[in-house]
Amino acid sequence: METADSPPTEVKVKRLMNEEVLRQENAAHLGTGGRSEENCSLGFRPAFYDFATQRIYPSRFADGRLAPCHLLDGLPEEVITDRTASGRVTSVKATVISGFIRNGYFYTRTAAARAAQEWTRAPRHASLD
């Protein structure tokens, strides 16, 4: 609780999802398995999850085809917050995050990275001594 003598409480506001956020996420997850290029061989497909509706949206091109990476243009109107004059999606709701879908389950980038690292780690063999 703030008092007249205490400093104001900092409030963090989640940014809208946009192409810059996607670029930053890709840079942060480089080499971890949390990027489409690094985990598609394990069955991960790029997707978005909306916390407000608990819906998963596979990443799609604007024409509806599945996309091999995270693209905003194929998201449905209910999550889009801004477009360019030509109609290209520039941002979506702050409740939307990027991640992956695999076997019907959504994985955050961090969870996908962790799974990719575990699943590609060489198995340990018991000593035959």
pLDDT per residue over 50-93, tens digit each? 999 999 999 999 999 999 999 999 999 999 999 999 999 999 99
Q: Give the pLDDT of residue 120.
A: 86
Question: Residue ranges of the domains in the chain?
Answer: 17-112
What's the whole-model pTM score? 0.83
Task: Write out the E strands in 1-129.
Answer: 17-18, 45-50, 55-58, 80-83, 89-92, 96-102, 105-108
